[in-house]
């Protein structure tokens, strides 16, 4: 995958643009959360929560291939948890409506 992005190189450690992006890795969650609904959570709380989740999957020593593989795992995990939460929310709402009737 890396060779398609950067022809002639197996790693991107010396690539100037990637080094530039890596300087801002501590701000990536803030950018991701910019347009997200946080239910009244403060920006710092949301960023810390996101950073904690990111730390589980992404390590500073990962090369670009490992980064993308683990980042995709992170996204899949977040989507799975969101889907489960949506399902649980719909089930509890239906249960509540049935009890009320």
pLDDT tens digits, one per residue of 11-68: 656 677 767 766 766 656 555 555 655 555 556 666 677 778 788 877 888 888 888 8
Is-above-0.75 flag for pTM?
Answer: no
Per-residue CA distances from 83 to 42, 52, 88, 89 (Å): 24, 20, 9, 10
Structural domain count, the chain: 1
Angle between helices 43-57 and 64-100 (to 10 degrees): 120
Q: For the chain, how many helices (H) and strands (E)?
A: 5, 0
Q: Determine what percent of the chain falls in helix, strand and coil, rounding each to the nearest 5.
A: 70, 0, 30
* pLDDT for 3 beyond 50: no
Structural domain containing residue 84: 2-100
Which pLDDT score is estimated for 80? 93
């Amino acid at each position: 995958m890396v060779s398609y992005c950067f022809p002639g190189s197996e790693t991107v450690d010396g690539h100037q643009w990637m080094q530039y992006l890596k300087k801002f890795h501590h701000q990536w969650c803030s950018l991701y959360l910019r347009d997200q609904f946080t239910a009244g959570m403060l920006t710092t709380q949301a960023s810390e929560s996101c950073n904690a989740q990111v730390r589980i999957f992404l390590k500073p020593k990962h090369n670009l291939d490992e980064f993308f593989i683990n980042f995709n795992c992170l996204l899949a995990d977040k989507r799975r948890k969101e889907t489960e939460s949506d399902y649980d929310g719909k089930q509890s709402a239906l249960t509540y409506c049935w009890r009320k009737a």
